[in-house]
Amino acid sequence: MVDLLIKNGRIFDPGQKLDIVGDIAVYKGKIAEIAPVLTCDSRKTVDAKGFFVVPGLIDVHTHINWKGNYIGMPADLGLIPGGVTATIDAGSTGVSNFRSLLRYLDTCEIKAKLMLHVSAGGQMMSKQYAENIDPAAWDRDLFERAFEDYGKRIAGLKLRVSTDVVGSLELIPLKRAVELADHLHTRVFVHPTDPPKTMEEVVSVLRPGDVLCHMYHNEGHTIMERGEVTEEIWKAKERGVVFDVSQGRGNFSIRLAEKCIRQGFIPDTISTDLNIENWNAPWDFSLLMTMSKFMALGMSFSDVIRCTTSNAAAVYGEPDGMGTLKTDTDADISILSIEEKKIPFTDKYGDRIIGKQVIKPMVTIIKGNIFYCSCDVLAER
């Protein structure tokens, strides 16, 4: 007797080149077996006929300090109904207050880590209240203690290097953050909109595994010069700097993304930058809508799934145990449907692209437990 049997789905895990129609058995929270037909008894059965069964989606950039920051949204409610089983809070807190965020995340079902902001109080809300990121104010002992006590729950250090945040310090905070991250054996996540120097200079500071957020932002210097993705940007990608979408409402340009993707410059990870302001806005920013948008921009379904499963698991720091349907890993599973539907996507510049397909959430499973199920799954089909 297993706990859960997912029947007749298209089991699709590009990270291990798995693409079969079949069944998945879940036992004690783990994926027990995958085969074209399983006949074991089960406490619960889900008929996934006509749906894709993929590893639980990982959104590597969200703001989930619910009630703790102005922009924090509720983690479970905001993400699980959209097929997301794990996420990373993008620097809502720093060394002085991250423990309260961890305490909140302990009450959530979604798996979550946090980026530790280099500013002690975390990332402020926006331009009016930029955080102080002067390295002179950093307390190395507090960073060391945070990583000693909670290193497994910290995905890396976060900072913004926008001109209005760094001022005359320009790229000095980024350089110091990389040195500190080296010392702490962790990665750096950098928000680079309207940077004080070119994007080539920004990425030249980053090491393999460091993450450039908002890769398709269109404020000030971008990853393109004169209509081309520049050579240094290509080289950074080749040496392992991670390029992440972190779409957001203001940090994404459809036209810029379109040109980059046409030149073959696709993201390593697709994430949303979801927060209380865009979580349920009429213009939908959810992970599945963002993935649908990237399909409209020319990426394949396989690519967008890879960006939100195996690639995202590497950024999460669990390259083997998450973002995969391998047996004996936690049964974090998203069941999705692809609907043929004409859908317009827009951005803050008023540019539009029309998509032909939308990915819709059907069932979200974390450690073998069903936390979301669409009524479409229960309907007679």
Residues in contact with Zn ion by CB under 5 A are 90, 273
CB 91, min distance to Zn ion, A: 7
- Give the residue with the Cβ less far from Zn ion, 13 or 268: 268
CB 63, min distance to Zn ion, A: 6
- Give the residue with the Cβ less far from Zn ion, 59 or 330: 59
Which residues, other chains included, contact 114 with Cβ-Cβ below 8 Å and sequence gap of 6+? 88, 89, 91, 92, 93, 98, 101, 102, 105, 153, 154, 155
- Give the residue with the Cβ less far from Zn ion, 10 or 214: 214
CB 128, min distance to Zn ion, A: 16
- Give the residue with the Cβ less far from Zn ion, 73 or 90: 90
CB 219, min distance to Zn ion, A: 14
- The single residue listed with the structure tokens 């479970």 is 76
Torsion of Cα atoms, 161 then 162 then 163 then 167, to 10°:
-40
Which residues, other chains included, contact 355 with Cβ-Cβ below 8 Å and sequence gap of 6+? 292, 293, 295, 296, 342, 343, 344, 345
- Give the residue with the Cβ less far from Zn ion, 84 or 325: 84
Taking the C-alpha atoms of residue 202 and residue 134, their distance in angstroms, rounded to an integer, is 17
- Fill in the DSSP letter of residue 207: P
Name 189's bridge partners: 158, 211
CB 231, min distance to Zn ion, A: 28
- Give the residue with the Cβ less far from Zn ion, 273 or 318: 273
By the 10 Å C-beta count (0-12 exposed, 13-18 middle, 19+ buried), 166 is classed as buried
337 and 376 in contact (C-beta within 8 Å)?
yes
CB 178, min distance to Zn ion, A: 19
